[in-house]
A and B are shown apart, each in its own frame.
Chain A
Amino acid sequence: MDVKKLAEEIKSSFQEELKNFENGNLNFEDLKNKFLGRKGLVADAFSQMRNFTDKALAGQILNSLKNELTEKVNSLTENTSSAKTKKLDLSLPGRKPNAGTLHVVTETQRQIEDIFFAMGFEMATGPQVETDFFNFESLNFPPDHPAREMHDTFFVEGDVLLRTHTSNVQIHAMKSQEPPVRVIAPGKCYRNDTPDATHSPVFQQIEALYVDKNVTFTELKGTLDAFVKALFGKATKTRFRPSFFPFTEPSAEVDVTCVVCKGKGCNVCKQTGWIEILGAGMVDPNVLEAVGYDSEIYSGYAFGLGIERVAMLKYGIPDLRLFFQNDIRFLKQF
Chain B
Amino acid sequence: MKISLNWLKSLIEIPFDIDTLVQKLTFSGLEVESVETQKPQLSEKVVVGYVTDRIQHPNADKLSVCQVDVGGEEVLQIVCGAPNVAKGQKVAVATVGSVLPNGLKIKKSKLRGELSQGMICSASELEISEESDGILVLNEETEIGTLFNDYFKDADTIVEIAVTPNRPDVLGHIGVARDIATLEGKKFVKPTHTFTEIGKNTADEIEVEIEFPEGCPRYSAKIVEGIKVGKSPEWLANRLEAAGIRSINNVVDVSNYVMLEVGHPMHAFDYSEVKGKKIVVKSSVQGEKFTTLDDVERELDGQTVMICDGERSVAIGGIMGGQNSEINDTTTKVLLEAAYFTPSYVRKSSVNLGLKSDASYRFERGTDPNATIYALELAAKLLEEVAGGKAYKGYVDNYPNPIEPKEVKLREARVEKILGIAVSQDQIDTTLDNLGITKKSEGTYLVPTYRPDIEREIDLIEEVVRIIGYDSVPLKKTAELDFHSAKSQVNYRNELRRFMTGLGCHETLTNTMTTTELAGKFSEKNEPIILANPLSRDYAALRTSMLPAFLEVLRENLNKKSGTSFRFFEIGDIFYRDENVYNKAKEIKKAILLLSGDRNEVSTFVKQENFDFYDIKGYAESILEFTRFKRITFKVGQRPYFTENCLEVVGNGKTIGFVGEVSPKILKEFDVSAKNVFVFEFAFDLCEKTYQIVSKFSHLNKHPFVERDFAFVLDKTTEAGEIVEKLNRSKIKNLTSIKISDLYEGKPLAENKKSIAFSFRFESFERTLTDKEVNEAMDKILKISEQTFGAELRK
Contact = CB atoms under 8 A, between A and B. Distances in A.
A233 interface: no
Interface in B326-379: 343-344, 347-348, 351, 364-365
Interface in A96-119: 96-103, 105-106, 110, 117-119
B470 interface: yes
B109 interface: no
Interface in A126-182: 127-131, 134, 143-147, 149-150, 154-157, 160, 162, 182
A118 B479 CA distance: 13
B583 A129 contact: yes
A285 B573 CA distance: 34
A284 interface: yes
A131 B164 contact: no
Given A162-B531, A244-B165, A326 B557 contact: yes
Interface in B404-437: 417-421
Given A120-B483, A327-B556, A101 B506 contact: yes
A328 B466 contact: no
A219 B165 CA distance: 27
A98 B600 contact: yes
B562 A327 contact: yes
A226 interface: yes
Contacts of B534: 154
Contacts of A100: 500-507, 567
A106 B485 CA distance: 21
A150 B164 CA distance: 9
A279 B344 CA distance: 27
Contacts of A122: 485, 488-489
A170 B604 CA distance: 56
Given A97-B504, A242-B28, A329 B563 contact: yes
A78 to B, nearest CB: 27
B604 A218 contact: no
A6 interface: no
B134 interface: no
25 contacts: A95-B603, A97-B504, A100-B507, A102-B501, A103-B507, A106-B509, A127-B587, A129-B529, A129-B587, A145-B344, A146-B347, A156-B530, A190-B513, A216-B418, A216-B476, A219-B477, A221-B474, A221-B475, A222-B477, A242-B28, A250-B462, A282-B458, A284-B458, A323-B509, A324-B509
B420 A216 contact: yes
Interface residues of A, number: 85
Given A120-B482, A216-B420, A154 B364 contact: no
Interface of B: 26-29, 31, 164-167, 343-344, 347-348, 351, 364-365, 417-421, 456, 458-459, 461-462, 465-466, 470-471, 473-479, 481-483, 485-486, 488-489, 494, 497-498, 500-513, 529-535, 539, 542, 553, 556-557, 560, 562-563, 565-568, 570, 573, 575, 582-585, 587, 600-601, 603-606
B761 to A, nearest CB: 28
A17 interface: no
Interface of A: 92-93, 95-103, 105-106, 110, 117-123, 127-131, 134, 143-147, 149-150, 154-157, 160, 162, 182, 188, 190, 192-194, 201-202, 210, 212, 214-219, 221-223, 225-226, 239-244, 249-253, 282, 284-285, 299, 323-329, 331-332
A201 B539 CA distance: 8
Nearest to A104: B509
A328 B477 contact: no
A102 B508 CA distance: 8
B744 to A, nearest CB: 28
A326 B510 contact: yes
Contacts of B28: 242
Contacts of A282: 418, 458
Given A212-B479, A215-B479, 20 more contacts: A92-B604, A101-B507, A103-B570, A120-B479, A122-B485, A129-B587, A134-B583, A155-B531, A194-B535, A202-B512, A202-B513, A217-B418, A217-B420, A219-B477, A240-B471, A242-B27, A252-B470, A285-B456, A326-B509, A331-B507
Task: With a 10 A CB-CB cut-off, give which of B456, B481, B531, B567 has the most chain A CB atoms.
Answer: B531
Contacts of A149: 165
A29 to B, nearest CB: 26
Given A221-B474, A243-B31, A249-B458, A146 B165 contact: yes
A250 B467 CA distance: 12
A215 B417 CA distance: 8
Given A101-B501, A128-B575, A326-B568, A299 B531 contact: no
B31 A326 contact: no
A219 B512 contact: no
Contacts of A154: 531, 533-535
B500 A192 contact: no
A121 B575 CA distance: 28
Given A93-B604, A102-B497, A131 B582 contact: yes
A250 B563 contact: no
Nearest to A92: B604
A117 B486 CA distance: 5
B477 A144 contact: no
A149 B459 CA distance: 21
A192 B532 CA distance: 12
Given A210-B479, A284-B458, A192 B533 contact: yes
A194 B535 CA distance: 7
Contact of A156 (B27, B364, B531): B531
Contacts of B603: 93, 95-96
A244 B164 CA distance: 6
B478 A219 contact: yes
Nearest to A253: B31
A209 B459 CA distance: 20
Nearest to A285: B458
Contact of B477 (A160, A190, A223): A223
A92 B501 CA distance: 25
B29 A327 contact: no
A249 B462 contact: yes
Nearest to A250: B462
A328 B563 contact: yes
Contacts of A210: 479
A217 B485 contact: no
B325 to A, nearest CB: 28
Contacts of A143: 344
Contacts of B418: 216-217, 250, 282, 299
Contacts of A242: 27-29, 462, 465-466, 470
Contacts of A120: 479, 481-483, 485-486
A242 B562 CA distance: 46
B355 to A, nearest CB: 15
Contacts of A95: 603, 605-606
A98 B601 contact: yes
Contacts of B529: 129, 156
B558 to A, nearest CB: 10
B32 to A, nearest CB: 10
Given A147-B166, A241-B26, A285-B456, A219 B479 contact: yes
B585 A324 contact: no
Nearest to B164: A244
A160 to B, nearest CB: 5
Contacts of B605: 95
Task: With a 10 A CB-CB cut-off, give which of A102, A192, A282, A328 has the most chain B CB atoms.
Answer: A328
A160 B494 contact: no
A202 to B, nearest CB: 6
